[in-house]
């Protein structure tokens, strides 16, 4: 049986409505504007606090319209969480925790400790900590937003690193998530509290001694065998 080739013109795809174009998933965003908004948000939240910084101010600081800010982030709470996440990813990227068995354990932990302390002692991080401890934000959903955007991701990356080092026979840890949290608590220590309270920070030599001592103490608790400091 001979098939007859259709001569009908192919159907044109139906045009989407304006609403479908605006709300459809995967709509490209201007990454440059997004970065400018995040930078502006970090500055304004640091200078004005969460309540004091308005979306109008952040838009003006970023050189974009308020509609553009809302288009990228939805609301001020989501923008604050994104600013926290951006700060953490820049200061303590997940790459620092990736598998690298050739790097000695002590050296890897000290590198992470240095990066973490630098991140949490930055003026914007200290200001953010104070914001979250303020009566206006304490016990509000903002605290959970902050935790999910920053500390939860960092502790998860640290736990994965510890699991790999346990499998390699270098560490013995029963509760890995707790040990990951303990590591960062040690690194913060009194030095971070002094910054938050406005009592002044440590000088670089004191910070380095503090970080070495923190890593030493962590490894005395969990190392299977002595780990030599570099």
> Region 145-173: what's the mean pLDDT?
91
Listed by start position, the domains of the chain span 31-74, 92-222
Confidence of residue 148 (pLDDT cuts 50, 70, 90): confident
Q: How far apart are CA 96 and CA 205, in angstroms?
A: 23
Model confidence at 74: pLDDT above 80: yes
* Distance in angstroms (rounded) separating the CA atoms of residues 47 and 187: 26
Share of the chain above pLDDT 90, in %: 44
Fold for the domain defined by 31-74:
Arc Repressor Mutant, subunit A (1.10.10)
Instruction: Place 138 in a pLDDT band, splitting at 50, 70 and 90.
Output: low
Question: Coil, strand or helix: which one is 49?
Answer: helix
Whether the model pTM is above 0.85: no
Residue found under tokens 């979306």? 55
- pLDDT tens, residue by residue, 197-213: 888 778 999 999 999 99
- The whole-number pLDDT of residue 230 equals 52
Q: Is the predicted pLDDT of residue 13 greater than 60, yes or no?
A: no
The tokens for 91 are 């200061």
| CATH number attached to the domain at 92-222 | 1.10.357.10
């Amino acid at each position: 049986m001979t098939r007859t080739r259709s001569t009908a013109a192919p159907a044109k795809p139906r045009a989407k409505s304006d609403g479908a174009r605006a709300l459809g998933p995967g709509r490209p965003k201007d990454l440059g504007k997004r970065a400018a908004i995040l930078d502006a948000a970090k500055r304004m939240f640091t200078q004005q606090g969460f309540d004091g910084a308005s979306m109008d101010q952040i838009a003006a600081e970023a050189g974009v319209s308020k509609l553009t800010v809302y288009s990228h982030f939805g609301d001020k709470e989501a923008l604050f969480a994104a600013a926290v996440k951006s700060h953490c990813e820049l200061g303590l990227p997940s790459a620092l925790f990736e598998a690298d068995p050739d790097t000695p354990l002590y050296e890897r932990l000290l590198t992470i400790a240095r990066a973490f302390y630098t991140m949490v002692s930055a003026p914007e991080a200290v200001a953010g900590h104070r914001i979250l401890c303020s009566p206006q934000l304490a016990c509000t959903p903002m605290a959970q937003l902050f935790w999910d955007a920053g500390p939860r991701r960092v502790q998860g990356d640290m736990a994965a690193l510890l699991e790999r080092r346990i499998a390699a026979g270098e560490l013995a840890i029963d509760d890995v998530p707790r040990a990951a949290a303990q590591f960062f608590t040690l690194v913060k220590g009194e030095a971070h509290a002094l910054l938050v309270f406005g009592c002044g920070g440590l000088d670089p030599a004191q910070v380095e001694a503090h970080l070495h001592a923190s890593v030493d103490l962590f490894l005395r608790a969990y190392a299977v065998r002595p780990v030599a400091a570099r």
